[in-house]
């Protein structure tokens, strides 16, 4: 019982501290400089949140930049030396290319499949039964998914051992001979991406299905009267009307791919040419204990995320203006 | 006479009974009873070490059953000296130690599995140099004593080399596991030289069998079994000095000597006939599943090179010596002048906070009884020649001990001596790429390139 109680106590304390701050600081401000209180008060109220953001987000970011410009353990200024070293190391360009491939394939595939699933199950009798099945993989953590899919891709080496992998069972039934799916590049990266698409299609489907509900029924009816098929209705009539939701799903998936690490780590450990940037960052930080090069990789990831952040901020401003 | 015995003999009956029960729990082998143990040395140790009322904290990597074993050894130290020992032990030891050292609150004694970590701590002045007496035990009583001494000798904060660790418990790598029955059925003899081993492998292939089982899979550490192979080949193809220069980084990773060692591993691991499943099978098989091929009917493979811990992953219910056995991964007869190199690893007892109790504990770990108590209970190898080897419970442990004691040269697992970015990174990846078809030259150059960028 000690744990929940102390957590509750901590929440109450935090709330109390915030309320106390708002009341006390407001009162002190009124007393000290009543004529400027209106100007200063918003900043005063923002201060606690600002401090937390500064401490938890801004400071780590600045620290990462500082570390990226220094040697291992932050000793010795090296300028852009870490980036030069990364560029000269065969592993970095490989991980960079692999990450770009993930960014190009996974968000598009998961969003597309999710949209198709949302649109088709909407007009399907029994669609309500199909959706939970598609959504179910979402409830599986990446490491859990990795364990399951490692069994699907399992390969026993053909030395007389019985193959137990599902994919090899299908493959051999179709006339092929068992293959090591996870250890042959570039096929293995596609095998890994399939797992993420499998896991995230449900997420895309749920969001997009909710968005589809908001579309006026008349537009769909009009299209049906004009003789449009179901796929055409999804792609030409409905999709354009839920552009915002699609963009949201797409960018959420893109961010997820950028920080993707656990799935690759658990399935191939980044070997056989499957390493992604987040995994490379982990290797440099905790394998080689070089905070400099690990931070440099982190900054590359950040730069890749910048276009998305700009787009998101742009969207927020536009909404605020409306 | 030890304090322990005085207490038992001098106490009233009920107290004696009680302490007898406690002793049965604390001291697994009653002192003085089983003549195979070196009790005289134990009594002599007790007579010269009175640490009553002193406390000692010890930390190390052993958890679970190993922790129980080590605590059963510690009980003898407590009984002999009157000191109280608290052993933490278990996963996360390295982090605990580093945090403790940085915070100025380390344990008194730390048992460190990586010489590289101990060297770093010694350089920063966190370890106390051990006395000449401990050095003499390792040099004179340990098989290949000078090798052990060299591995545990580091430069201190002033740059002067000194002995900082006592090797207590080691693992042996240079082993080939096999099923004696399979060898007898097929008429194979245990090879004594590397040439004989190669001839045997070729003969097995000619007779339609597959000689080797190799698996490199090991979750996040996938690839390490291949680094052991390359280290074994380095020690067999080249003098030990080359091995030392290689692990220090003085011999570049793409030196022709290293490439020859990698290719020596490749003649087996990249061959479709020599190894079960061919190179694809080697890469895809977990090292824990790999030895199972020895025990199928008919055997999928006849030999498996792996360290002394691997029987834990054998199928249950096998009898050591009858159902499986091990022989020394032999050296080339062409280089017979170099003797028998043995590869392994071990744990170093170090003093992280100096005190008479800590010194006393190291003195105790150097006595035969500290080794005998553990080896009489379970898997425990020691290079200490002063211990009674009749205490090994099973014939395979005895054989491993013979191999260890027969070593003329002992070398520590090289990947543990290299920087983490190599030994636990680029080396693993490189070996996986090599088994996957990349050339040894390309792979070695890539590893060297990473090493060159390290400080």
Domains plus CATH for chain B? 3-172+343-412 (3.40.190.10), 179-342+413-452 (3.40.190.10)
Q: Is residue A76 part of a domain?
A: no
* A63 in the same domain as A122: no
Residue A277 included in any domain: yes
**What pLDDT does B8 receive?**
40
Q: What backbone phi and psi angles, to 5 degrees, belong to B305?
A: -90, 120
Asked if residues B348 and B416 have their Cβ atoms less than 8 Å apart, the reply is: no
The enclosing domain of A95 has a CATH number of 1.10.3720.10
Q: Nearest C-alpha of chain B: how many angstroms from A181?
A: 9
Domain count, chain A: 2
Write out pLDDT tens, residues A221-277. Answer: 888 888 888 778 877 888 888 888 898 899 999 999 998 998 998 888 888 889 999
The pLDDT of residue A322: 65
Asked if residue A125 and residue A264 are part of one domain, the reply reads: yes
Pair A114, A33 in one domain: no
Q: In terms of domains, do A297 and A224 share one?
A: yes
Are B425 and A183 a contacting pair at CB < 8 A? Answer: no
Q: Do B300 and A265 touch (CB under 8 A)?
A: no
Same domain, A235 and A287: yes
Task: Show pLDDT as tens, one digit a residue, over chain B (455 residues).
Answer: 344 444 444 334 333 333 433 444 478 899 888 889 999 999 999 999 999 999 999 999 898 888 999 999 999 999 999 999 999 988 778 878 888 887 889 999 999 988 888 888 898 899 999 989 999 999 999 988 888 999 999 999 898 999 999 999 999 999 999 999 999 999 999 999 999 999 999 999 999 999 999 999 887 778 899 999 999 999 999 999 999 999 989 999 999 999 999 999 999 999 989 999 889 889 888 888 899 999 988 899 999 999 998 988 898 889 999 999 999 999 998 887 788 899 999 999 999 999 999 999 999 999 999 999 999 887 789 999 999 988 887 889 989 998 988 888 889 999 888 887 888 889 999 999 999 899 999 999 999 998 988 86
One domain, residues A49 and A189:
no
A271 and B223 in contact by Cβ < 8 A?
Answer: yes
Burial pattern B141-173, b for ≥16 Cβ within 10 A else e, equals ebbbbebbbbbbbbebeeeeebbbbbbbbbbbb
* Residue A254 domain flag: yes
Tens digits of per-residue pLDDT, A137-176?
988 889 999 999 999 998 876 555 677 889 988 998 898 8
Chain B interface residues (partner A, CB cutoff 8 A): 210, 219-223, 276-278, 280-285, 293, 296, 300-301, 419-421, 424-425, 428-429, 432-433, 436, 446, 449-450, 453-455
Return the residue matching tokens 């570039």.
A186
Which chain B residue lies closest to A262 (C-alpha atoms)? B220
Q: What is the CA radius of gyration of chain A?
A: 26
Distance CA B368, CA B376 (A): 12
Q: Greater confidence, B164 or A217?
A: B164
Q: Which of B277, B433, B446 sits opposite A159 (nearest CB)?
A: B277
- 3-class SS of residue A123: coil
Rounded Cα–Cα distance for residues B174 and B40 (Å): 34
3-class DSSP assignment, residue A207: helix
Question: Is residue A83 situated within a structural domain?
Answer: no
Q: CA–CA separation, B315 vs A107, rounded Å?
A: 45
Beta bridge partners of B128: B351
**For residue A300, is it within any domain?**
yes
Q: To which H or E segment does residue A200 belong?
A: helix A187-213
Reference B135, options B157, B112, B151; nearest CA is: B151
Name which of A288, A226, A228, A300 is nearest A68 in CA terms: A300
| Residue where the block lists tokens 């091990």 | B326
Residues A64 and A92 in one domain: no
Is residue A167 located within the same domain as residue A310? yes
Three-state SS sequence of chain B? CCHHHHHHHHCCHHHHHHHHHHHHHHCCCCCCCCCCCCHHHHHHHHHHCCCCCCEEEEECCCCHHHHHHHHHHHHHHHHHHCCEEEECCCCCHHHHHHHHHHCCCCCCEEEECCHHHHHHHHHCCCCECCCHHHHHHHHHHECCHHHHHHHCEEECCCCCEEECCEEEEEEECCEEEECHHHHHHHCCCCCCCHHHHHHHHHHHHHCCCCCECCCCECHHHCCHHHHHHHHHHHHHHCCHHHHHHHHHCCCCCCCHHHHHHHHHHHHHHCCCCCECCHHHHHHHCECCCHHHHHHCCCCCCCEEECCCCHHHHCCCCCCECCCEEEEECCCCHHHHHHCCEEEEEEEEEEECCCCHHHHHHHHHHCCHHHHHHHHCCCCCECCECCCCHHHCCCHHHHHHHHHHHCCCEEEECHHHHCCHHHHHHHHHHHHHHHHCCCCHHHHHHHHHHHHHCCC
Domain that residue A63 falls in: 2-68
Check whether residue A209 and residue A148 sit in a common domain: yes
- Is A73 a domain residue? no
pTM, full prediction:
0.79
Q: Is residue A151 part of a domain?
A: yes
Minimal CA–CA distance to B132: which of B366, B345, B358? B366
A76: left (phi over 0), alpha (psi -120 to 50) or beta: left
Whose tokens are 């109450």? That residue is A12
Collapsed DSSP state (helix, strand, coil) of residue A70: strand
Name the residue among B221, B276, B421 with its Cβ closest to that of A157.
B276
Task: Name, in order, each residue with C-beta under 8 angstroms of A266's C-beta and a sequence gap of 6 or more.
Answer: A142, A143, A146, A147, A150
CA separation for the pair B449, B433 (Å, rounded): 15
Q: Per the structure block, which two tokens stand in for B383? A: 């290079």
Sign of CA dihedral A147, A150, A156, A157: negative
Note whether A194 and A46 are same-domain residues: no
Q: What is the DSSP letter of A47?
A: H
Distance CA B284, CA B293 (A): 14
Q: Which pLDDT value is given to residue B21?
A: 38
Residues of B in contact with A161 (CB under 8 A): 277, 293, 300
DSSP-derived 3-state class of residue A77: strand
pLDDT in tens, A60-117: 999 999 999 998 877 889 889 899 988 888 889 999 999 999 999 999 999 999 998 8
Q: Is A7 in the same domain as A107? A: no
Say whether A156 and B277 touch across the interface (CB within 8 A): yes
Instruction: Give the N- to C-terminal CA distance of chain B in Å, as an integer.
Output: 55
Judge: B421–A290 Cβ closer than 8 Å, yes or no: yes
ipTM surpassing 0.85, yes or no? Answer: no
Last residue of a domain, one of A40, A68, A96: A68
Q: In what order do the strands lie in the sheet with B325-328?
A: B304-305, B175-178, B325-328
Rounded mean pLDDT, A298-317: 86
For residue A37, give the 3-state DSSP assignment: helix
Distance from CA of B286 to the nearest CA of A (A): 9
> Are residues A99 and A168 located together in one domain of the fold?
yes
In a domain, A77, yes or no: no
State how far the Cα of A163 lies from the Cα of A176, in Å rounded to an integer.
13
Phi, psi (degrees; rounded to nearest 5) at B154: -130, 165
């Amino acid at each position: 019982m000690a744990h929940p109680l102390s957590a509750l106590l901590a929440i109450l304390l935090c709330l109390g501290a915030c309320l106390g701050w708002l009341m006390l600081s407001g009162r002190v401000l009124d007393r000290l400089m009543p004529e400027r209180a209106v100007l200063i008060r918003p900043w005063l109220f923002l201060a606690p949140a600002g401090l937390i953001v500064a401490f938890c987000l801004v400071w780590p970011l600045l620290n990462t930049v500082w570390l990226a410009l220094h040697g291992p353990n932050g000793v010795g200024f090296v300028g852009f030396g870490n980036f030069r070293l990364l560029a000269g190391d065969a592993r970095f360009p490989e991980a960079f290319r692999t990450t770009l491939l993930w960014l190009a394939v996974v968000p598009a595939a998961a969003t597309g499949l999710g949209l198709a699933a949302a649109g088709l199950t909407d007009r399907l009798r029994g669609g309500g039964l199909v959706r939970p099945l598609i959504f179910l993989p979402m409830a599986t953590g990446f490491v859990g998914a990795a364990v399951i899919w490692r069994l699907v891709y399992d390969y026993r080496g053909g030395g007389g051992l019985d193959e137990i992998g599902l994919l090899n069972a299908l493959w051999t039934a179709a006339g092929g001979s068992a293959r090591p799916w996870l250890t042959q590049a570039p096929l293995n990266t596609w095998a890994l991406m399939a797992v993420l698409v499998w896991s995230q299609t449900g997420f895309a489907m749920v969001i997009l299905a909710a968005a589809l509900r908001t579309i006026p029924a008349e537009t769909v009816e009009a299209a049906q009267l004009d003789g449009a098929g179901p796929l055409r209705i999804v792609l030409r009539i409905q999709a354009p009307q839920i552009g915002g939701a699609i963009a949201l799903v797409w960018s959420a998936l893109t961010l997820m791919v950028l920080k993707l690490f656990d799935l690759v780590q658990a399935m191939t450990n980044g070997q056989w040419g499957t390493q992604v940037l987040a995994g490379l960052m982990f290797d440099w930080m905790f394998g080689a204990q070089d905070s400099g090069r690990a931070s440099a990789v982190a900054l590359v990831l950040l730069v890749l995320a910048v276009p998305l952040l700009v787009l998101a901020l742009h969207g927020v401003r536009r909404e605020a203006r409306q | 006479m030890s304090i322990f015995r005085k207490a038992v003999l001098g106490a009233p009956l009920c107290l004696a009974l009680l302490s007898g029960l406690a002793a049965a729990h604390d001291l697994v082998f009653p002192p003085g009873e089983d003549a195979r143990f070196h009790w005289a040395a134990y009594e002599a140790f007790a007579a010269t070490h009175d640490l009553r009322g002193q406390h000692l904290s010890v930390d190390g990597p052993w958890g679970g059953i190993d922790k129980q074993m080590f605590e059963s050894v510690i009980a003898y130290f407590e009984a002999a000296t009157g000191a109280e020992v608290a052993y933490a032990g278990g996963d996360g030891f390295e982090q605990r130690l580093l945090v403790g050292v940085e915070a100025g609150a380390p344990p008194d004694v730390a048992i460190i599995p990586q010489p590289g970590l101990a060297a770093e701590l010694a350089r920063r002045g966190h370890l106390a140099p051990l006395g000449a007496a401990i050095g003499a035990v390792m040099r004179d009583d340990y098989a290949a004593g000078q090798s052990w001494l060299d591995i545990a000798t580091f430069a201190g904060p002033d740059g002067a080399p000194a002995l900082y660790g006592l090797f207590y418990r080691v693992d042996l790598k240079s082993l080939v596991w096999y099923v004696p029955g399979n060898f007898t059925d097929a008429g194979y003899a245990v090879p004594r030289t590397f040439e004989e081993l190669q001839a045997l492998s070729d003969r097995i292939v000619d007779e339609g069998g597959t000689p080797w089982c190799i698996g490199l899979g090991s979750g996040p550490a996938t690839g390490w079994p291949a680094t052991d192979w390359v280290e074994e080949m380095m020690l067999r193809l080249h003098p030990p000095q080359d091995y030392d220069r290689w692990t220090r980084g003085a011999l570049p990773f793409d030196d022709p000597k290293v490439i020859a060692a990698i290719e020596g591993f490749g003649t087996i691991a990249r061959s479709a006939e020599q190894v079960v499943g061919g190179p694809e099978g080697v890469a895809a098989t977990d090292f824990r599943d790999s030895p199972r091929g020895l025990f199928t009917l008919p055997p999928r493979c006849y030999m498996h090179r792996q360290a002394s811990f691997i029987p834990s992953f054998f199928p249950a219910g096998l009898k050591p010596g009858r159902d499986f056995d091990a022989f020394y991964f032999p050296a080339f007869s062409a280089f017979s002048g170099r003797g028998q190199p043995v590869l392994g690893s071990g744990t170093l007892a170090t003093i992280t906070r100096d005190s008479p109790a800590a010194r006393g504990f190291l003195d105790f770990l150097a006595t035969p009884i500290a080794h005998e108590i553990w080896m009489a209970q379970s898997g425990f190898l020691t290079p200490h020649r002063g211990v009674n080897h009749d205490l090994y419970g099973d014939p395979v442990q005895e054989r491993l001990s013979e191999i260890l004691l027969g070593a003329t040269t002992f070398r520590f697992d090289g990947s543990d001596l290299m920087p983490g970015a190599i030994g636990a990174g680029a080396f693993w990846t490189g070996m996986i790429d090599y088994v996957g078809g990349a050339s040894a030259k390309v792979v070695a150059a890539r590893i060297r390139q990473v090493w060159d960028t390290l400080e």
